[in-house]
Amino acid sequence: MAPGTRHMGTDTFRHSSSKTVERSLHGNRLCLIPACYPTFAFITLHRCDKYGNAQIDVPSSRIGELAMAAKGSY
């Protein structure tokens, strides 16, 4: 399966602003999905204290990017 084509057979296009484009160089179709801007993000922490300091033990996670993409912190 070509990259970016796994959503072609789903109803993603009815419920989002996803689009398909034709790649002129290769001639195949590609699915473009818009960026996600969540209102909030639930993040599971490994350790924290009463002052709000937190520690996450997963070194190669995308948790920081998810937290920064959220519109606010609660």
What's residue 50's pLDDT? 94
pLDDT of residue 8: 67
Please state whether the predicted TM-score (pTM) of the whole model is above 0.75: no
The domain locations on the chain are: 1-34, 40-74
Shortest CA distance to 23 belongs to which of 38, 43, 39, 2?
Answer: 2
In terms of Cα–Cα distance, which of 37, 33, 42 is closest to 12? 33
Q: Which of 61, 68, 58, 1 is nearest to 35 (CA)?
A: 68
| pLDDT tens-digit map of 9-55 | 677 677 777 777 777 777 777 777 787 788 888 888 889 999 989 88
Give backbone dihedrals phi and psi of 47, rounded to 5 degrees, phi first: -150, 145
